[in-house]
Amino acid sequence: MAKQPSKKVLDRNQNLVQTRIYWTAALILVITGAILLQVINLQVIRHDHFTTLSKNNHIKILPVVPSRGLIFSSDGVLLADNRPSFTLEIVPERVADVDSVIEQLGRIIAITPDDIQRFRDLKRRARRFEGVPLRLNLNDEEVALISVNRHQLPGIDVVASLNRYYPLADSLSHTVGYVGLIDEEEFENLNKSNYSGTSYVGKSGIEKAYEDLLHGYVGYQQVEVNAQGRKIREIYREPPGPSKDLYLTIDASLQILAVQALSGRRGSIVIMDTNTGAVLVSASSPGYNPNLFVDGIDRNIYADLLRSKDTPLLNRTLQGKYPPGSTIKPMLALGGLSRHVREPGSETWCPGWYSLRGSTHRYRDWKKEGHGHVDMVHAISQSCDVYFYVLARDMKIDLIHETLTDFGLGKRTGIDIGGEADGLIPSRQWKREALGQPWYPGETLIAGIGQGATLVTPIQLAVATAVIANRGRLVRPYLLSEVRDSATGQQVIRASTHEARRVIAANPGDWDVIIHSMREVMHGERGTARSSGAGTEYQFAGKTGTAQVITIAQDEEYDEDEIPEEFRDHALFIAFAPVEAPEIALAVIVENGGGGSRTAAPLARELLDHYFNRQKRLETG
């Protein structure tokens, strides 16, 4: 018979069991307590937070992007449109391996390295739950291929949207501008909430200057989605704030005619309302196709645009700087009259050249045999250089500077799309500060015929011409005419024109002399542009100009046929019409076009005829 354990052993075993039971019970209590605390934390303390997270598993807040406002000309021609487009997007939070998915997609549709790079750039700025565009402007076949294979591509969406389109292409590229994909710098400066879901922003021209009006305000929608993130239904929708449609001062028919007139040439034509400053034509040639920039321009095409000797990306109207040549002669003549440096009837002898006292250097006139005795009217109408050499000598450079800047030359006009160049009207102070050199008398003579360091932009030249038409009053040019609500079509803003301000105080008789002289340019027996003024039913005042690109030596003759095209003279012309009650002013510059009377003035005549013939048709019904 087995020996029974002693009472001592039994007591020790019993104590051990009880100890284990106590520790187990304590552990159970601790675990239970921890579970209860966590339940309280989840169900009570953080109830709202986890309820929201739970809903977010099947409810999403998505941006509703406003449709970008349209842009029209003053005669109702659509200049910037929105066209339906399909975009392939990837939602990063729903894709485990983005690179693998892109590789899969590349076997279905064409995806370029540029597409991938753009996607990566946009992905860095987007939130993980937002769709990031990979391919833009899918065609119908590509949309169908994606749809067929969609079950194998989690996190992929084909999104219908509106894409910017410019119907007139290069005819208004510099003025209307274009939209493009938002870059890193722009993203940092934009209101991120308002641009949620938006990939485009205005890059230049009207599109950039009036971005806030054209873009509108983003809305949002609350939608229910399934486990794959597909939208099932819309729960709530806050519509986007309406964008605005813009109506410009541009006259589309006149603009197209100006672009056609400049076709194959480099140059600019500006036409503006002399009374208000409304810009009817802003043609810069050559232009470029802004549609190429909307979704990111091909690198090779962009490189070709940059390398082109014709510089199509340059807005010559605002940024092209040219010697004004003889177009400034009426302005200097007015300065001479108003400062009592000249009388209208005083004559200057022109033998075909002029020399400063003590110098053998001859400053030549365009007419080799000279003009003989000329007064102010004949000097302007025949564009006598010698008369203006002598006038410049007597006025001196600082008075020339003061006179031309009063007309608005050499400084920005303040047009409402920005991007202007200043130009340059030289003075003693300018040369001393910019070059550290003194001013020489010979430079004054050259400045008197609009050569040397003098540089102006076409828009400045048009404004200065309007100052003559307005007899000393300056109007600021502008392009935005009115703003309408894109949803209702109701006018919400009428562009306020800047009141003309008097910048030149001269006697009425002085203005009469200058305007009569410019009329003689067009309609006088010996006017330099009389062939362009012949046979008109209206009277207009103008001034031709020819600006040298290279200097011709004293013993050389200018032979256009022997000079490479890029070194030939620029052709310029300014005018306003009708003489009696001016309505419009214009400036024409044709780079390397030769003489202003031969090249630029005929273009202006064609445009003026179109304007006034149409006005006549409208008046007669």
Q: Say yes or no: 506 and 527 in one domain.
A: yes
Percent helix, strand, coil in the chain, to 5, is 40, 20, 40
- Residues 235-278: tens digit of each pLDDT: 877 788 888 999 999 999 999 999 999 999 999 999 999 999 99
- Are residues 290 and 185 located together in one domain of the fold? no
Residue 9: its H or E element? helix 7-40
Whether the Cβ atoms of residue 122 and residue 133 lie closer than 8 Å to each other: yes
What is the value of pTM for the model shown? Answer: 0.83
Residue 23 in any domain: the answer is no
pLDDT 10s digits, 461-509: 999 999 999 999 999 999 999 999 888 888 888 876 777 888 998 999 9
What residue type is assigned to position 367 of the chain?
A: K
**338 in the same domain as 217:** no
Any domain includes 489: no
Assess contact for 423 and 456: CB atoms under 8 A. yes
How does pLDDT run across 500-558, given as a tens digit for each residue? 888 998 999 999 999 999 999 999 999 999 999 999 999 999 999 999 886 655 555 55
Shared-domain flag, residues 125 and 266: no
Question: Of residues 588 and 4, which shows the higher confidence score?
Answer: 588
SS3 560: helix
DSSP class per residue in 181-216: E--HHHHHHS-TTTTTT--EEE-SHHHHHTHHHHH-
Does residue 189 share a domain with residue 290?
A: no
Which pLDDT band holds residue 187 (cuts at 50, 70, 90)? confident
Among 191, 215, 248, give the residue marking a domain's end. Answer: 248
**Could you give the CA distance from residue 145 to residue 123 in angstroms, rounded to a whole number?**
24
What does residue 454 show for φ and ψ, rounded to 5 degrees? Answer: -70, 125
Residues paired with 472 in a beta bridge:
none
Boundaries of domain holding 511 = 252-481+495-620
Task: For residues 83 and 462, give the distance between their C-alpha atoms in angstroms, rounded to a whole number.
Answer: 36
Q: Indicate the SS3 state at residue 451.
A: coil
Domain C-terminal end among 248, 269, 304? 248
Query: Any idea which residues carry the catalytic annotation?
Result: 326
| Pair 258, 219 in one domain | no
Instruction: Assign 222 to helix, strand or coil.
Output: strand
pLDDT tens digits for range 78-133: 999 999 888 888 888 778 788 888 888 888 888 888 888 888 888 877 776 677 88
Check residue 64 and give its pLDDT: 79
Last residue of a domain, one of 200, 223, 248: 248
| Residue at 490 is within a domain | no
269 contacts 281 by C-beta, under 8 angstroms: yes
Residue 84: count other Cβ atoms within 10 Å of its Cβ: 8
Give the largest Cα separation in the chain, rounded: 159
Residue 203: CATH number of its domain: 3.90.1310.10
Distance CA 343, CA 341 (A): 7
Count CA atoms closer than 13 A to 34's CA, side-chain side: 5
205, 306: one domain:
no
- Whether the per-residue pLDDT at 610 is higher than 80: the answer is yes
How far apart are alpha carbons 374 and 346 in whole angstroms?
A: 8
The confidence band for 343, taking pLDDT boundaries of 50, 70 and 90, is very high
And the tokens for 233? 């239904």
Q: Are residues 295 and 216 in the same domain?
A: no
Please tell me which residue, 219 or 264, carries the higher pLDDT value. Answer: 264
CA distance 561 to 78: 43
Query: DSSP assignment of 38-67, as one string?
Result: HHHIIIIITHHHHHHHHHHTTEEEEEEPPP
333: left (phi over 0), alpha (psi -120 to 50) or beta: alpha
Q: Which residue has the tokens 């419009």?
A: 584
Looking at the fold, whether 156 and 239 belong to one and the same domain comes out as yes
209 and 258 share one domain? no
Residue 543 burial (CB < 10 Å; 0-12/13-18/19+)? buried
| CATH code of the domain in which 448 resides | 3.40.710.10
The domain total for the chain is 2
d(CA 505, CA 332): 14
Q: Are residues 180 and 283 in the same domain?
A: no
